[in-house]
Every structure is written in C-alpha cells, then in structure tokens.
A and B are shown apart, each in its own frame.
Chain A
C-alpha cells in the first residue's frame, strides 16, 4: 500500500511527485500521456527563470527531475478508482495499485464537435493538434473551427502551409488577443466565416468537404482537405464521478485551499480543478500539485 498515488503526469502531477519524494512519501505516478497538454505548447514564455522553452522540453525536464528524485512513472490508463475502508484501489490495464491517498492531476481533454464524420476522419483530415499536423496540408484548403486564441493561433500557423484557411466561428466577433486579430487580418489566405457551424465532415478515404448550417458564397458545402478543431478544452469527469467527487457546473473538481476535495484522502491539482482562480497555467498547475502533496504529508504526520 502506497502513501500516495498521483494520477496524471503533466506539470501538476510531476510537481506533486517532486514534493512527495522530498517528503519521503512512498508513491507512484500513473499517466496515460506523460507531459499532458503542455507538450503541445509551441513556446512557453512565462515560466519564471526560463525566458522561452518549448512545452515539450519543459515537461521532459520535469519528468526527468521527478524520476531523478525516485518517482516511478507507470505509463498506463486508469480504468477505475474505488474507495474502501483503508484507502483507494486504482485499477489500470497493468493491474491494481493501492494507496492511502490519491491526487487527481487529470488535466483537460479537447472538446469535440460531436458531428458526423468527426470520429471517422480523425487522422484522415480531422486534427486536434495544429503543431503536429499543419505540415501535411501544404497547398491545400483547410478549416479551423473556433473563435478564441487557440483557433487564431492555429489559423496563423496553418496559413504558412495551406493554400486557404477558413476560420469558421459560430459567434459574430472573435474572442482573441488584439495581437492575433491584427496578424490574422494581414494574412491574405485566411478568411473568417462568422455565425456558422459545420454540420458534417464528408469524404471518401480522407476529408473532401464539409457541410455548413448556412450558405457561404452561394453554397452550403465547402471543399477542403483538413478540419482543425480548436473549440477549447473541458475537464474529464469520468474518474471523479466514480468517486462521488463534487464538481462545479462545468465539470471542474471543487477543491479547498489545501487542494482537498469532499472525499477524504482524495486531492486534486491542475487545470481540472476550481483552484488558482482557474488561471490554468503550467505555473499554477505545478503550484497546486505542491500544495496537494503538502496536504497529504500533513495528514500522514497527524495520523502517525
């Protein structure tokens, strides 16, 4: 039986582990995707002490740091968590692990459009990672769906490769930083289509067109090869719900200032919580991880 199991190995989970090693808490980290969403960040320029670093490099360093201090990172998906009398039992593909305390550092999941063709054409024109996939669309027409900074950033990147970028947004005014708005306007191959939704993604082997909910240039179909979905993220609610954790109306885990939840022995840290005024930065995720582990340590000290 471990003192602590940390689920998730983004900045919150890895910082929690670093603190756990220093407190000599017997623990493991279980994670499906080491690094979390931060891995896809092109450049991180607000991590104090490092002027500019890729999200990939920063999270790799965090993992190396945690492992150097003795953390065991198990790469596996957690299927189920059950609470018993003496602690928690965590079931993953590789088997069951037991611990007195849990820190959920689950991060966020990309929101999907939930329309026909989206799942079918994933990897065949539908993408959620512009930095990974922009290069496959050289000289082709693509759509970016969304109207906030992540969509603007995707459109900007894709404009370097694609012949045409349609930025399709359901609202009538983009919700982006002024710097993005200005640079998008300068791109001749970016066209913004307002107050419009994609109803269906169509094609044979790969995407060839999308159906819109209103006419654009005289047709409700648009010929293109790629659809980049950038409509934000939401917390994954499956595991917290299994445990009866209180969530807010948008699915974020309600945490106290010590990162505890309504379930005794269960703590949460990072983007999926209501903590840090929901700022959702690498910095705040790491801080919440540290606070959560300190709370676990305090609890074990009182118990012993």
Chain B
C-alpha cells in the first residue's frame, strides 16, 4: 500500500527515511494523476523491501509542494538522504520508475 505523505509527516517519513523515497505529487482534479495512482500502488507493493513509495496531495499539503516548486502534476520526485535526486513530470510507467529507483 502506498503511503500518504503530508506537510506534517514529510520530514519524518521522507527526509529522514533510511530508504530512498519516491513521492508522487498529485491532486484529485488532475486526470493524468488518477492514471498514475494505480501505477504507484503496484510499484509500492513490488519494491517495498528496498524503497518507500507514496503520494502527496498538493491541494492539502501546499507547503511541501511549494517547497519543491511543484507547478505541474503529476510530478514524481525521488528523495535520498533528505535531498531530491531525480524528478519526473507527467505520467511515467512502472518499469521506468522501478529502474530509476534501482539506479539511485
């Protein structure tokens, strides 16, 4: 199950995570984001031993979305040791995300 990240838990769950984290910045009004949702769920399940994968609703968590200058959704950012290391804009396939996570 993909995690739900929020302004409140972002530091603990993402920035201070031991594992690399993939965050899907999304919103309910965005069609392509709705397509991304099931892909993120599948990915989270498949890589759960090595990586943390979750979603952040930009509408409810504006401070975090603003911090990383998210201006287009879906945006996906991989964080490692508290820093963004790779960013994607637009819908991505599960395989691309998986192979990028493996490379980190």
Chains A and B belong together in one complex = yes
Within 8 A of B (CB), among A126-154: 126-129, 131-133, 135-137
Task: Fill in one digit per residue for A92-123: 1 if any B CB lies within 8 Å of its CB, else 0.
Answer: 11100000000000000000000000000011
Q: Does A75 belong to the interface (CB within 8 Å)? A: yes
Q: Does B47 belong to the interface (CB within 8 Å)? A: no
Q: Does B93 belong to the interface (CB within 8 Å)? A: yes
| Chain B residues near A33 (CB-CB < 8 A) | 32, 35, 91
Instruction: Establish whether residues B31 and A226, one from each chain, have CB atoms under 8 Å apart when the complex forms.
Output: no
Give chain B nearest CB distance to A253 CB in angstroms.
Answer: 23
- Bin the interface of chain B by size: 20 to 34
Instruction: Establish whether residues B95 and A77, one from each chain, have CB atoms under 8 Å apart when the complex forms.
Output: yes
User: Which of the residues B42, B69, B73 comes within 8 Å of A132, measured between beta carbons?
Assistant: B73
Instruction: Please count the residue pairs between chain A and chain B whose beta carbons lie under 8 angstroms apart in the complex.
Output: 85
Within 8 A of A (CB), among B65-97: 69-75, 87, 89-91, 93-96
Instruction: Establish whether residues A93 and B96, one from each chain, have CB atoms under 8 Å apart when the complex forms.
Output: yes
Q: Does B39 belong to the interface (CB within 8 Å)? A: yes
Central interface residue in A39, A76, A205, by most chain B CB within 10 Å: A39
Instruction: Establish whether residues A133 and B94, one from each chain, have CB atoms under 8 Å apart when the complex forms.
Output: no
Q: Does A54 belong to the interface (CB within 8 Å)? A: yes
Q: A39-B35, A132-B31 are in contact. Are A77 and B93 (CB under 8 A)?
A: yes
Q: Does B15 belong to the interface (CB within 8 Å)? A: no
| Chain A residues near B9 (CB-CB < 8 A) | none
| Chain A residues near B33 (CB-CB < 8 A) | 132
User: Which of the residues B27, B71, B89, B90 comes within 8 Å of A206, measured between beta carbons?
Assistant: B71
User: Which of the residues A55, A123, A131, A137 comes within 8 Å of B75, measured between beta carbons?
Assistant: A123
Q: Does A35 belong to the interface (CB within 8 Å)? A: yes
User: Which of the residues A56, A94, A132 comes within 8 Å of B72, measured between beta carbons?
Assistant: A132
Instruction: Establish whether residues B71 and A127, one from each chain, have CB atoms under 8 Å apart when the complex forms.
Output: yes
Taking beta carbons and an 8 Å cutoff, which residues of B are in contact with A?
27, 29-35, 39, 42, 59, 69-75, 87, 89-91, 93-96, 99
Can you list 27 A-B pairs with a CB-CB distance of less than 8 A? A32-B93, A33-B35, A34-B35, A35-B31, A35-B35, A39-B31, A39-B32, A56-B34, A75-B42, A75-B95, A77-B95, A77-B96, A92-B95, A123-B72, A123-B87, A123-B90, A124-B71, A125-B71, A127-B71, A131-B30, A131-B31, A132-B73, A132-B74, A133-B71, A133-B72, A136-B70, A206-B71
User: What would 9 more interface pairs be, CB under 8 Å, given A77-B96, A129-B31, A132-B73?
Assistant: A33-B32, A35-B31, A56-B35, A75-B94, A125-B71, A127-B71, A127-B72, A129-B30, A132-B32
